[in-house]
């Protein structure tokens, strides 16, 4: 692939300075809509990692001690700067990820919500106080930062997922090192610049680019206290095992296979609108995408027809086009996997309703395209059901009853998100209480929690016990202290007691 004339070198951000570091390895960054190489990413080596961790350790000591008023002043300013640079951030996202600009702005909006929540950190860190638990004795508890945290993030949300982590870690007094996905590195550098403009001291937020070698260094480095990870399940499991074995606190969010149950009493037009949007938005590359429609009873034929109508109407274009609904997938490897998996379903006897394999986008023949695809009569043993395809593919599994749908969901190894479409409150309530899934939508297809509720799946969708951002994020990035205090007045000595203290 020839170098584009616009190729840029993407550096690290270490201790307040943009630097190419000491590592010699380089990875290409491509625009998925054109296939063109747009950047050269410098990968950090061990020396770069050690420099960043040393800077973070030093920064954490002062930042963790700084007043809440000063910390939040930086966060308020950062919030204003991110809001003022939504267009710039969105352009970087679309250029490297491919999603349409409006969708890119949507993910920045969800990231802004987390910054706003983090601005309220004084309220969140207030602690508890019990007066006079025994005569003259008070007990109070509060939380302190854990120290240095590394965040390792996936390609599909270049801004939102780093913002799920960094504002929370920084607001609670930690230093944070971001290792973004090597496929979408540029937005992280703009975030670093905005943090600096907001007045964040050097070393509190750093960006270190790299692949598995850098990640290994982060997981095992003795001066890193916590790891926040979001990505695929095999990597999440590996991160959890290695980092916990090295004494670190870990939250590792993994992949998904999200089912939507559609009952015959649902408004089928509404359900079809939402299914199409949740399956094909961002080319299906969302951890909360709906990739399985479990159609109950006699709703199936009509539902599939309605989804088909919507799938063929999706405008697939370069994400910079104002009327684009959907952009490309992230790379050639991803495209090949999606196409292969669709073919396996067809060969195994599933019904191709809409087939996006041969899509060509005029003027963008070198881009990584797959059109919206709908496959009916999919069986649970087919790879289109067992694999997280992570592309614009909706598989339809037909079930007889709500109970069968719930059993289907609970038999699946993943448990990230799910949804039900129905007009029955009783069915919805049974569903919400019965599914082994972390985030549930009732007539809502993408139930990504708002910033003041935490985000997290169950089963193979999350390793570690803390969900991300919201109250559980505060808990993850801090550790508790409990103080039992007595201030005796003079001459109250009553002699030593050798029994276990009780009130
Ligand atoms: P990925 O697991 O390939 O990569 C995630 C991060 O881990 C990247 O920074 C990458 O450089 C690093 N990495 C990759 N392989 C590694 C290895 N062997 N050792 C150490 N580090 C490694 O994920 P991706 O393809 O970038 O993102 C898509 C995946 O992320 C999907 O499975 C999706 O469901 C998942 N995801 C989950 C959530 C969630 O909240 N649960 C959110 C977004 C994405």
Closest CA to 194 of 182, 184, 185, 205: 205
Task: Look at phi and psi of residue 15 and say left if phi exceeds 0, alpha if psi is from -120 to 50, else beta.
Answer: left
Q: What percentage of the chain exceeds 90 in pLDDT? A: 95
Q: Could you tell me how far CA 152 lies from the centroid of its own chain?
A: 10
Q: Which H or E element spans position 30?
A: strand 26-30
- Cα–Cα distance for residue pair 247/224, rounded to 1 Å: 9
User: For ligand 1, what atom is nearest to the CA of residue 216?
Assistant: 20
Q: Which pLDDT belongs to residue 496?
A: 81
pLDDT band at residue 495 using 50, 70 and 90 as cut-offs: confident
Count of CB atoms situated within 10 Å of the CB of 115? 23
pLDDT for 503 = 66
- Paired with 459 in beta bridges are 414
For 134-185, write each residue's pLDDT tens digit.
Answer: 999 999 999 999 999 999 999 999 999 999 999 999 999 999 999 999 999 9
pLDDT (0 to 100) of residue 105: 98
Which ranges in 97-231 belong to alpha helices (H)? 101-119, 121-124, 160-171, 186-197, 212-220
Using DSSP's 3-state secondary structure scheme, residue 240 falls into helix
pLDDT tens track for 431-482: 999 999 999 999 999 999 999 999 999 999 999 999 999 999 999 999 999 9
Q: Which of 10, 54, 49, 21 is nearest to 213 (CA)?
A: 49
Give the side-chain half-sphere CA count within 13 A for 327.
29
- β-sheet bridge partners, residue 227: 150, 250
User: Would you give the distance in Å from CA 177 to the centre of its chain?
Assistant: 16
| pLDDT of amino acid 479 | 98
Ligand 1 centroid–CA 333 distance in Å is: 15
Mean pLDDT of the chain: 96
Q: Judge whether residue 492 has pLDDT over 70.
A: no
How many whole angstroms from 330 Cα to the centroid of ligand 1?
13
Nearest to 75, CA basis, from 177, 237, 245, 194: 194
Catalytic residue, from 56, 60, 163, 287: name it.
287
Computed from CA positions of residues 355, 358, 363, 364, in that sequence, does the dihedral angle turn out positive or negative? Answer: positive
d(CA 338, CA 392): 9
The number of the ligand 1 atom at minimal distance from the alpha carbon of 238 is 19
The model's pTM is 0.96
Q: How many whole angstroms from 113 Cα to the centroid of ligand 1?
A: 23
Q: Are 285 and 491 in contact (CB under 8 A)?
A: no
386-435 confidence digits (pLDDT tens): 999 999 999 999 999 999 999 999 999 999 999 999 999 999 999 999 99
Q: Is the ipTM of this complex over 0.90?
A: yes
User: Which H helix or E strand runs over 59?
Assistant: helix 46-63
Burial of 241 (0-12, 13-18, 19+ CB in 10 A): middle
Candidate from 154, 218, 233 with most ligand 1 atoms within 8 A of CB, to mutate: 154
Ligand 1 atom closest to Cα of residue 457: 41
Top mutation candidate among 229, 232, 246, 469 for ligand 1, by most atoms within 8 Å of CB: 232
CA-to-CA distance for 348 and 354, rounded, in angstroms? 16
Q: State the average pLDDT over residues 198-227.
A: 97
Cα distances from 496 to residues 303, 491, 499, 501, in angstroms, run 78, 14, 9, 11
- Expressed in angstroms and rounded, the spacing between residue 84 Cα and the centre of ligand 1 is 29
Ligand 1 atom nearest to CA at 157: 43
- The rounded distance, in Å, linking the Cα atoms of 206 and 46 is 15
Tokens standing for residue 338: 């999606």
| Residue 119 annotated to the active site | no
Q: Identify the residues whose C-beta falls under 6 Å from ligand 1.
A: 152-157, 161, 179, 181-182, 211-212, 215, 230-232, 235, 253-256, 287, 388, 390, 416, 457, 461
pLDDT for the residue 6: 62
The residues facing 373 across adjacent strands are: 393
Which residues have CB under 8 Å from 99's CB, separation 6+?
93, 107, 282, 283, 285, 319, 327
Residue recorded with tokens 């916590």:
226
User: Residue 11 C-alpha to ligand 1 middle, in angstroms?
Assistant: 21
| Residue nearest (by alpha carbon) to ligand 1 atom 27 | 154
């Amino acid at each position: 692939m020839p170098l584009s004339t616009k190729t840029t070198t993407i550096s690290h951000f270490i201790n307040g300075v943009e630097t190419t570091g000491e590592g010699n390895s380089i990875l290409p960054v491509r625009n998925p809509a054109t296939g063109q190489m747009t950047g050269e990413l410098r990968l950090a080596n061990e020396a770069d990692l050690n420099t960043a961790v040393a800077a973070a350790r030093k920064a954490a000591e002062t930042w963790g001690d700084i007043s809440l008023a000063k910390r939040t002043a930086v966060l308020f300013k950062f919030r204003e700067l991110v809001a003022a640079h939504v267009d710039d951030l969105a352009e970087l996202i679309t250029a490297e990820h491919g999603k349409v600009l409006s969708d890119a702005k949507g993910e920045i909006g969800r990231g802004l919500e987390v910054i706003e929540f983090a601005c309220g950190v004084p309220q969140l860190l207030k602690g508890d106080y019990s007066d006079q638990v025994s005569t003259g004795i008070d007990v109070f508890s509060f939380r302190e930062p854990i120290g240095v945290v590394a965040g390792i993030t996936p390609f599909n949300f270049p801004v939102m997922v780093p913002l799920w982590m960094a504002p929370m870690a920084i607001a609670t007094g930690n230093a944070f090192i971001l290792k973004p996905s090597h496929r979408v590195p540029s937005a992280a550098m703009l975030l670093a610049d905005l943090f600096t403009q907001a007045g964040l001291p050097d070393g509190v937020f750093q960006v270190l680019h790299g692949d598995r070698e850098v990640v290994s260094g982060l997981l095992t480095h003795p001066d890193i206290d916590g790891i926040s990870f979001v990505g695929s399940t095999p990597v999440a499991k590996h991160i959890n095992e290695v980092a916990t074995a090295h004494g670190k606190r870990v939250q590792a969010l993994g992949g998904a296979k999200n089912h939507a149950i559609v009952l015959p009493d649902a408004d089928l037009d509404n359900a079809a609108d939402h299914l199409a949007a949740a399956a094909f938005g961002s080319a299906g590359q969302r951890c909360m995408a709906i990739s399985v429609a479990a159609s109950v009873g006699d709703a199936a034929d009509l539902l599939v027809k309605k989804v088909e109508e919507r799938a063929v109407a999706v405008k697939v274009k370069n994400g910079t086009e104002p009327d684009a609904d959907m952009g490309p997938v992230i790379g050639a490897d991803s495209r090949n996997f999606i196409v292969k998996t669709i073919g396996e379903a067809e060969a195994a006897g599933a019904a191709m309703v809409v087939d996006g394999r041969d899509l060509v986008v005029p003027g963008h023949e070198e881009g990584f395209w797959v059109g919206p695809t709908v496959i009916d009569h999919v069986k649970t043993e087919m790879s289109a059901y067992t694999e997280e395809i992570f592309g614009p593919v909706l598989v339809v599994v037909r079930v007889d009853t709500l109970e069968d749908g719930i059993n289907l969901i609970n038999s699946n190894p993943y448990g990230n998100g799910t949804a039900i479409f129905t007009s029955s409150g009783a069915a919805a309530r049974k569903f919400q209480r019965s599914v082994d899934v972390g985030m549930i939508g009732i007539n809502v297809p993408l139930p990504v929690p708002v910033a003041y509720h935490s985000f997290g799946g169950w089963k193979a969708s999350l390793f570690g016990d803390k969900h991300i951002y919201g109250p559980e994020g505060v808990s993850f990035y801090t550790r508790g202290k409990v103080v039992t205090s007595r201030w005796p007045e003079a001459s109250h000595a009553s002699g030593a007691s050798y029994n276990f203290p009780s009130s």
